[in-house]
Structures are given as C-alpha cells and as structure tokens.
A and B are shown apart, each in its own frame.
Chain A
Amino acid sequence: KQEVTQIPAALSVPEGENLVLNCSFTDSAIYNLQWFRQDPGKGLTSLLLIQSSQREQTSGRLNASLDKSSGRSTLYIAASQPGDSATYLCAVRLEDSNYQLIWGAGTKLIIKP
C-alpha cells in the first residue's frame, strides 16, 4: 500500500531564506507526483507536476525534483517571502489508478518578515 510522508510537519524560517520541503513515498510505481499549496480555509493550488519519467520541474522560485527509485521528492523554494506561508501538500498518482491521488499530511510553512 502506497504511503506518502512529508517532513517536516511544520517549518518557520526568516524571509529571504532558501528552503527545502521533503516528500517520500513507499511504492516507486507512480505515474506522477504533484505539489500543491493550500492557504488556511481555502482550496488547493497546484504548483508543480512531475511525470514519472522526469527528474525535475521549475516554476519561478519553485523547483521540484523527483527520484523515483528512492521514493523521494523535494520542493525547493528560493528567496522565500511572507506570501509563501501556507501548507504544502504532495500527492502521488499510482500507475494503475483512475487518477486517484495518495496524499501526504502536508508541511505548514511560515515565513517570518
């Protein structure tokens, strides 16, 4: 059974720092992996999607990497800003699933001005 773990559960850093959020999964047979952002009481915003054949994806100050064989993904945020404060969720789609996603518990990120 696929399990997705996110470490740390919470992170607080000063503005301007670069940071890394981690996501690990137990079954390497994934179709893709996706990183989302969720603001308090709000829905989800998709940040980056990495297909199983890809190693990384970049969007602005965000860079997500995928090491399928070791079951790991990282989300790198450069030059963090207070507006980056949110909960970041990673989710994997299994190879044989009907679009079903398996979710991590999230990392709550606070960027201090």
Chain B
Amino acid sequence: GAVVSQHPSWVICKSGTSVKIECRSLDFQATTMFWYRQFPKQSLMLMATSNEGSKATYEQGVEKDKFLINHASLTLSTLTVTSAHPEDSSFYICSASFKDTQYFGPGTRLTVL
C-alpha cells in the first residue's frame, strides 16, 4: 500500500518549452503533496508544499510563476516547469503524506537542451 507514481520518468525538452510532471497517489488520498528537486550528488531540496484545493506554498527562492503547481484532486498533483532552461535540468521527486508518513514517487529526470 501507499504507492506514489510519477509520470513521465524522464523527459528531454528544448529550451523555452514547458514540461508537466504528474504525481499520483495510487491507493490512498493525500491532502498534502510535496515537490522536491535534487541536483547531482546533492540532497533533496523542498520546492513547494501542495495542499488539495488551495494554492501551493513555495520555499524561499523558488519562483512560483516558473514552477506551477496544481493539486486539483486528492490523488493528483502536477508540477509544470514553464519556459524551461538548461539550469532547470534536475531530478524532480514528489511525495504524498499519508498517516504521518511521506511516501515518495520514483522521480522524474528532466533534461533541458
């Protein structure tokens, strides 16, 4: 139980395009989901906290207009990287909270050319 999926698992896009990443809780409802970014050989950095039905809370230094988060249902949150640039290339991981624990998705590798 408590499985979180992400789609796509990897994506390559051209600079200036937008990319949407989906995070789904498969067998539970999650009122809160989190989006993390991880650069090579570094730990996870929290980008934003996503609450179902309300606006996401962004961490300091994360541009909310660039990283659009939508949490329209209790099982789905999406992260859209708008006008992506090479410096946005990273590993993006989502997690969903359930019974006092965060469950993590397998991650999405984004490469911006």
Residue ranges of A at the interface with B (Cβ–Cβ < 8 Å): 31-32, 34, 36, 41-44, 46, 49, 89, 98-101, 103-106
Contact A44 B104 (CB under 8 A): yes
Contact A41 B44 (CB under 8 A): no
* Shortest Cβ distance from residue B87 to the other chain A in the assembled complex, whole angstroms: 19
Known: A43-B106, A44-B104. A100 touches B43 (CB 8 A): no
Known: A41-B109, A98-B32, A99-B34. A104 touches B100 (CB 8 A): no
Known: A49-B101, A100-B49, A101-B102. A44 touches B93 (CB 8 A): yes
B interface: dominant SS:
strand
The interface on chain B, measured as residues whose beta carbon lies within 8 A of the other chain's beta carbons, has a size of 20
User: A42 to B46, alpha carbons, bound, how many Å?
Assistant: 17
Residue ranges of B at the interface with A (Cβ–Cβ < 8 Å): 6, 32, 34, 42-44, 46, 49, 91, 93, 97, 100-107, 109
Known: A42-B106, A44-B93. A32 touches B43 (CB 8 A): no
